[in-house]
């Protein structure tokens, strides 16, 4: 957009920012940060929501010092108002959660106490009743013994013969009823929240910073899609197009991409080994390695299975997603193989994940894998349209959480997770291709925010990677209708 010569405080656009036709600019809205002509101020701006609280500055006064102070004052007041409003919303949510959890815990504690009473009280009453009977019988026996002693000491024959009736009384019977004291087999195990302070945030909730995405640069590649992107450093990366059959080592120079190496190979997924070698999953049986001498070599064969994903953890464990055939068939059949295997750096098999303890499949197809501390995070693709879910598993194969998308209104109404990455703080980013979105989760799979990146010019995101500087790199697909189009790569700052 063209701008006129600057005033003391800011540049004024040459045309109205609403109609983009009139050059007779009269007003600026402080809240909207928009310059307008008189007609748009009256016809358009007044119809916007809540504009009755917006501050308008006449442009002829715009350069004056008192107006500049007014602008600053208006912005600070709006910031204070918005900040206080959001603070109050969050505070109310915390207090409501506290109330609900207090009631829930109180009700549950009452239920436990009732259960405890049902275990102990009947037994307690039974024991007390029998003890009372024993006491009464004991007192009766002592009384009879005392009476007999007195009779014998009297030396009167008539009393001795009459005391026979006391001897004929039945002695107290011995109780033979078994008392099952189940309370001695009962134990209360307190919840983890009382043992580990950091567990509280997963039970009660926590405060999370909601990242915003700020576009840094846009790059144009020479391949049809960026199916995978792997940053080597802040300005170099490996990019792969499976359908285009290309793997390129590129340099980001200014706004341009310079191709330093170009290979004809179809790659689904890549992972960096500690010695700067790159593992490549190609949809074939052999997991390949691109070595430092620029050669492609087989690393491990899984024949007859096919590898579709690969990841190397910070502890140098290699995770490989395997299926019985590629392209993948849906739905999985009874004899289908859908598993994740773990290897050491020598390629030795360490573990296999495929079924849970109830012999149910853990995933339909392990499309992408990352690890975060002691958790495997997997994109599970469930059909040929790339619909899916994100799951978290512990290293014992136990399902910890599942993310099936958010309630935010998106273009398709469905969830199409296709790539996943995480930053140094453990925040998880998921590319949602057909919704042109990036979902942000915390380390336990809880939803933080969904950012529709189409609003900043990013369409069909299919690959993600975060470099050492915290920059999010997004590789995109191209539209089928435009056969000659080339894929774009975007660098995005998390602010």
pLDDT of residue 331: 94
Tell me what pLDDT residue 5 has: 37
- Rounded mean pLDDT, 454-476: 94
For residue range 291-330, list pLDDT tens digits in order: 877 889 999 999 999 999 999 999 999 999 999 999 999 9
Most confident of 50-64, 70-84, 345-359, 480-494: 345-359
* The predicted structure's pLDDT at residue 198: 53
Please state, for a pLDDT cut of 70, what percent of the chain lies above it: 87
What is the average per-residue pLDDT within 52-67?
69
pLDDT at 46: 76
Sheet with strand 34-37: strands edge to edge:
34-37, 25-29, 56-58
Q: Where along the chain do its domains lie?
A: 213-494
> Which tokens hold the place of 426?
């453990």
Q: Is the pLDDT of residue 284 over 60?
A: yes
Does pLDDT of 184 surpass 60?
yes
Per-residue pLDDT, 162: 67
Task: Indicate the pLDDT class of residue 64, thresholds 50, 70 and 90.
Answer: low
Which pLDDT value is given to residue 8?
41
221-267 pLDDT, tens digit each: 999 999 999 987 778 999 999 999 999 999 998 888 999 999 999 99
| pTM score above 0.75 | no
pLDDT tens, 108-162? Answer: 889 989 999 999 999 999 999 989 988 988 888 888 788 777 777 776 766 666 6
Mean pLDDT for the stretch of residues 412-438: 93
pLDDT at 412 over 90: no
User: Does domain 213-494 sit in CATH 3.40.630.30?
Assistant: no
Q: Across residues 463-472, what is the average pLDDT?
A: 94
Tokens representing 470 are 């915290």
């Amino acid at each position: 957009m063209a701008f006129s010569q600057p005033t003391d405080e800011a540049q004024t656009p040459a045309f109205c920012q609403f109609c983009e036709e009139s050059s007779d600019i009269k007003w600026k809205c402080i809240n909207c940060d928009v310059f307008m002509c008189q007609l748009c101020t009256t016809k358009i701006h007044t119809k916007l929501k809540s504009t009755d609280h917006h501050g308008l500055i006449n442009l002829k006064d715009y350069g004056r010092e008192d107006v500049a102070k007014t602008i600053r004052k208006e912005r600070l007041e709006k910031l204070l108002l918005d900040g206080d409003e959001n603070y109050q919303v969050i505070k109310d949510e915390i207090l409501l959660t506290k109330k609900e959890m207090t009631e829930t815990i109180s009700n549950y504690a009452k239920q436990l106490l009732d259960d405890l009473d049902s275990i102990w009280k009947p037994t307690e009453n039974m024991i007390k009743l029998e003890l009372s009977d024993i006491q009464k019988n004991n007192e009766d026996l002592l009384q009879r013994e005392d009476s007999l002693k007195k009779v014998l000491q009297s030396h009167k024959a008539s009393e001795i013969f009459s005391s026979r009736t006391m001897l004929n009384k039945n002695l107290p019977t011995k109780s033979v009823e078994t008392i099952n004291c189940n309370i001695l087999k009962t134990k209360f195990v307190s919840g983890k929240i009382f043992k580990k302070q950091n567990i509280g945030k997963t039970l009660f909730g926590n405060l999370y910073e909601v990242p915003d995405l700020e576009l840094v640069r846009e790059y144009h590649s020479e391949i049809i899609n960026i199916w995978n992107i792997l940053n080597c450093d802040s300005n170099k990366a490996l990019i792969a197009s499976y359908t285009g059959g290309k793997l390129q080592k590129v340099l980001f120079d200014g706004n341009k991409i310079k191709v330093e190496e170009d290979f004809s190979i179809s790659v689904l997924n890549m992972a960096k080994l500690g010695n700067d070698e790159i593992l490549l999953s190609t949809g074939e049986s052999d997991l390949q390695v691109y070595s430092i001498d620029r050669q492609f070599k087989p690393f491990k064969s899984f024949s007859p299975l096919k590898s579709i994903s690969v990841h190397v953890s910070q502890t140098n464990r290699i995770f490989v997603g395997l299926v019985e055939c590629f392209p993948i068939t849906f739905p999985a059949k009874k004899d289908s193989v859908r598993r994740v295997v773990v290897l050491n750096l020598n390629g030795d098999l360490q573990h296999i994940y495929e079924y849970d303890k109830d012999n149910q499949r853990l995933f339909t197809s392990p499309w992408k894998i990352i690890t975060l501390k002691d958790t495997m995070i997997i994109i599970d693709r469930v059909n040929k349209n790339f619909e899916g879910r994100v799951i978290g598993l512990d290293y014992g194969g136990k399902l910890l959480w599942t993310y099936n998308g958010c309630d935010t209104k998106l273009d398709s109404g469905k969830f199409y997770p296709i790539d996943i990455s995480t930053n140094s703080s453990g925040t998880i980013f998921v590319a949602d291709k057909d919704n042109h979105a990036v979902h942000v989760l915390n380390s336990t799979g809880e939803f933080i925010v969904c950012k529709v990146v189409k609003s900043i010019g990013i369409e069909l995101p299919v690959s993600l990677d975060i470099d050492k500087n915290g920059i999010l790199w997004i590789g995109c697909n191209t539209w089928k209708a435009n056969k000659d189009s080339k894929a774009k790569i975007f660098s995005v700052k998390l602010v």
